[in-house]
Structure formats: structure tokens, C-alpha cells
Structure 1
């Protein structure tokens, strides 16, 4: 079956759509080396076949949206444009080989991800909205040139970066979702969630808002804040409750499994649901099967 033929926004008005899970953990499970600052981008550059295989694993598990391996590719990389376009092409190939409709979401990770020092979990980089927009603009242009179905403006730690990306988005005719990473009922930078989500309320190209790469326990309060502020479809793709240790570049796992109250997320308005870091194809298969 070919890639999804209609806009994702139209489908979200009718039903829930399932996202994929963490690309990094699936690549690690396939034996790939993710060391170094590029993270999944290293595999994108060195072993593109493995990236396509990871996308294929999620599509076979029932994922209806594949998020590209472009998260940590910044404009300073000498092959940035080629790698960004490659990331979309690989996801598109996996989507085209699936037995159900699949959309391709081009990942636009935060500025902090490119620093590779855990800054995406802190925000407040000391850059202006204008400077952040200048950083993201060439990435967005390169990704859009490859023809994804939607942009994933994801793992944003603070409203300033969201404002910058909404500014860049308005210069295009693309649609996107906007997703913060949160902790303690606030953005990672400590800002009010209602104020953060309000930035997207008046942006017609933003088709869904929500959270990702956070503890599952943080999801519902954030969705409620997004619903009250934006009226848009919501999205949730948390991790497994682990905490990233930037010094050791490892995940510190929770002592006990963290529950995923997906029923409450649906009732709050979530229409895009999947997983982020440390969530694999098995969990996505369970979600897609309604387990």
C-alpha cells in the first residue's frame, strides 16, 4: 500500500492515529553504535539500511506515523542537507512498504539536541527567538524539500523555541505538530504549560499539540492544559519514565514500571499516541491493538 494519501489533520478529526516508538532504542536493539554527538544521526550517516529497518519494525507493529532520524542533525554538520533529506527518504520507503497507510513526520528536534549535552531537558539556551529561528530555518527547509507529510516540532523545552519554530513554520505552507517535554507540571525551562501551549493556539499550521519524552505520569496534566488553551487535537508520546543522565549519556530507569493510562489520554483529547525513548515495537503493537 502506498504512503497515506490524505492530510493527517483530516484523519485526526475522525480517529486516533498511532505513532512509532523510540528510534534510538530500536537501533540499539539492532546492534547499531549510537555513541558520539550525532546519536541516531550517526546511524543515519553510516548505516542508512538500519534506519530503514527500524522504521519498518515500527510499521509492522502497527505504527501509522514514522518519525524521521533527523532529530539531532544541525545546520553545522557538513552533510546536513543530504542527511536531512535522507532521513525523510528512508522513512518514506518504509511507509511505502507497509500494509496500511503510514504518514512520515520529519523530526525537527530542539537546539539543545544538537548540543548533545542534555540541554533539551533544560532549555533557556541564552539565544533570542530570532537566533533560534535562524538556526531552525535551514533544517526545516531541507526537510520540507524531501516531501514529508508533516513536521514534528518535538521535545521543545521552552516557549521561546516554540515561538521561533512557529515563526519559521509560518514562512512555509507546511503543517506540523508541536510537542513540549515537561516535568513537574511545567515545561523543562520551568514555564507555565498553559502559556506555552497558548503560542500554538493561533497558529493554523499547527495541527496538534502535546508532550513527548517525559514521564508518563506527566502526560495527563499537560494534555489538560493544552486542551484548555488551544482546542486542538492532542498528542502524547512519553518515554518509559527513565531520566537521561547527560554526563554518562545513559538512561536511569525507574525502579518499577510506570503505568500508561492511555484511556485517560484518549478522554482528554489525545489523537496521536505513541512512544519516545525506550519504547519499542512491542509497546506500539499493544497500543495499536488496544491493549
Structure 2
């Protein structure tokens, strides 16, 4: 796992992440809104849809695809699908297996000249995603939980994803600095596992629970296993200021990971609210993020394969041009 990741990170080019997996699934006519398991239910009911969505992101140029496990948990599967604990674990692990099957198909079909194949990141969402009450956007639940509580919650999910062979773990859309502390501590229990840690943010200075992004980065710096820290599922317009606020704090052994949403706003009752904002700014702004030290760049909600393709053309093209000019 670590050796494959290191092979990528020795290059000067960024890694292109995929976009919103649920966004792509919904674009194919699958209804997910209101489901407490979100796209994770499809691990049981329609795994082929997940394989195909992964494959479309790979065709668009993604170097890293993220598993359909953001809202997956042992307890969640048992509660909402009435399965055994063993079956729940198998479902979680299947998220990695499906992604790897898509990578294998992609490599076989495209016969790339490069020896390396795309990576699979095991998605771990915040505890609030399980609660399915909107608290994943505020982190308020952490006020009533200890770090040990949060570690105990996340441990089975990380264990399953690591055991299934994920190339790294994506701790994503984390709204709470306490939860970040728990994840950093818990990661030490999986010493052979690398990860990134990305936060949801309320503005250009703070993560969703109101803590300063600078303090969140300091938490990430405690880990020798994190390859990147950053932000996801926020507006692209916030990213530059957030990275700039903590630029002097970024560990030399880490890079920024950045994958914002389209800039539209989420309403827990109405869903995504379109207000004329588009995702067109992501490829344009990504050049600035690269200059700030971002190595992993992609998109989150409302970002589909076409957006990822445009992002790859922008970043990989610019890197090639820069290399030729040296």
C-alpha cells in the first residue's frame, strides 16, 4: 500500500481525485436522497452501479477513486438493512473490492503505457453522517462525545477498509476538531495505513464546528501517517483563503488535499440549491491551489466525470508544459 502511494508522490504532477460518487449515481437515475445509508446501500442492492460509476471517473482521468463507504458503518448496516455484523463487515469491505474491480477493468481496457494503476481511497465520513440529521455539517454531536467514543465508533470501519486492501484511507468532510483528534489517534492503531484528512469548512478561516482551520492543521501534523490534509465539500471560492491561512503550518511531509463541491448550497430539506453558481471555477482555481502546495485535487458533491476530465486537462497539461520548459 505505502510503496504504491510513494511511487505516485515522487512525481511533480498532482494526483487527480474523482468527483461526487453519489452525484454520478443520481445522474444515472438512482434515487438516493433521504436514505440513511445514502450510496452505501447500493453495496448490497446494486453493486454494478457502483462499479460503473467508478469506471466512468477512471475514464475521465481520475488517478484516485473513493469507495462508496462515506455513510457506511457496521451499526448503520445492521440498523437499516437488518443484516448480521459479519454481513455488515463484508459489505464495508466490498466497497474496496468493487473499486479495485473497476481499476482492474480500466487498466485492462485502456492498456496504459504507464506501469502504475489508479489508487483506491477508502472513504470514512464523520459520525454525523450516520446520525443522518444534518449534524455532519456542524459537528455539534462531538460536544457530547469523548475522543474515546469517537475512536470506538470509527475503528470497525477503518479496520474493514484497511483489511480489504485500500491504498489509503480518506477521512473526509470532517466537521469537528475533536473528531479529527480521534481519527489521528486511531490511525496509529493501523501502522501500515496511510491516509488523508479533509475538513468541511464554514468560511475562509474555520472548519464547520467553528474551530480555526489552522488548529485543524496542527492536529494533522501530529500524524506521521497522513500524506495530506485539507478541505472538501466546501465552495471552491473558500479554498485559497483557507490554505493561505495555514500555509506556514503545513508539515514538509504532507501536501494539501483539495476537492470542493460545485459551490451550490445544501439544504437538509430541499437538497442542493442551484443559485447560478457552477463548478467551472475548480479547474481555473486549481492552478492556484497547486502553487499553494496541493498535490491531491478533485471534486466532491455535484462534480461529475466531465468536470474531472476538464480538471485533468488543465493540471496535467500545465505540468507537462512546465516540465518541457525546464
TM-score bin (small chain): over 0.9
Paired residues for 1:213-232 under 5 Å: 213-231=233-251, 232=254
Aligned length: 287
- 2:214 counterpart residue number: 194
- Distance between the aligned counterparts of 1:226 and 1:10, measured in 2? 27
Cα 1:17–1:23 shift into 2, 3 Å: same
Q: TM-score, normalised by structure 1?
A: 0.94
- Distance between the aligned counterparts of 1:189 and 1:122, measured in 2? 5
For 2:305, which of 281, 284, 288 is the aligned residue? Answer: 281
Cα 1:5–1:140 shift into 2, 3 Å: closer
C-alpha displacement at 1:212, in angstroms? 0.4
- 1:32 counterpart residue number: 30
Cα 1:229–1:13 shift into 2, 3 Å: farther
Contact 1:201 1:230 in 2 (8 A): yes
C-alpha displacement at 1:287, in angstroms? 0.9
**What SS does structure 1 have at the residue aligned with 2:65?**
strand
Paired residues for 1:35-184 under 5 Å: 35=33, 36-76=35-75, 77-78=77-78, 79-98=87-106, 99=110, 100=112, 101-125=117-141, 126-172=144-190, 173-184=192-203
- Distance between the aligned counterparts of 1:48 and 1:213, measured in 2? 25
Q: TM-score, normalised by structure 2?
A: 0.84
C-alpha displacement at 1:225, in angstroms? 3.4
Contact 1:75 1:135 in 2 (8 A): no
- 1:20 counterpart residue number: 18
- 1:207 counterpart residue number: 227
Gap runs ≥5 in structure 1: none
- Distance between the aligned counterparts of 2:56 and 2:3, measured in 1? 23
**What SS does structure 2 have at the residue aligned with 1:105?**
strand
Contact 1:241 1:254 in 2 (8 A): no
- Distance between the aligned counterparts of 2:212 and 2:292, measured in 1? 19
Matched, 1:243 2:256: no
Q: Whose helix proportion is higher, 1 or 2? A: 2
- Distance between the aligned counterparts of 1:163 and 1:194, measured in 2? 14
Contact 2:2 2:167 in 1 (8 A): no
- Distance between the aligned counterparts of 2:300 and 2:134, measured in 1? 16
- Distance between the aligned counterparts of 2:68 and 2:295, measured in 1? 23
Across the aligned residues of Structure 1 and Structure 2, the Cα RMSD in angstroms comes to: 1.6
Deviates more, 1:74-83 or 1:164-173: 74-83
What are the Cα deviations for residues 261-283 of structure 1, in whole angstroms up to 9, with x where unaligned? Answer: 11111100111011000000000
Gap runs ≥5 in structure 2: 79-86, 316-326
C-alpha displacement at 1:218, in angstroms? 1.1
C-alpha displacement at 1:202, in angstroms? 2.4
What are the Cα deviations for residues 97-140 of structure 1, in whole angstroms up to 9, with x where unaligned? Answer: 22352000000111011112221110031211110000000111
Contact 2:257 2:296 in 1 (8 A): yes
Deviates more, 1:74-83 or 1:264-273: 74-83
C-alpha displacement at 1:142, in angstroms? 1.0
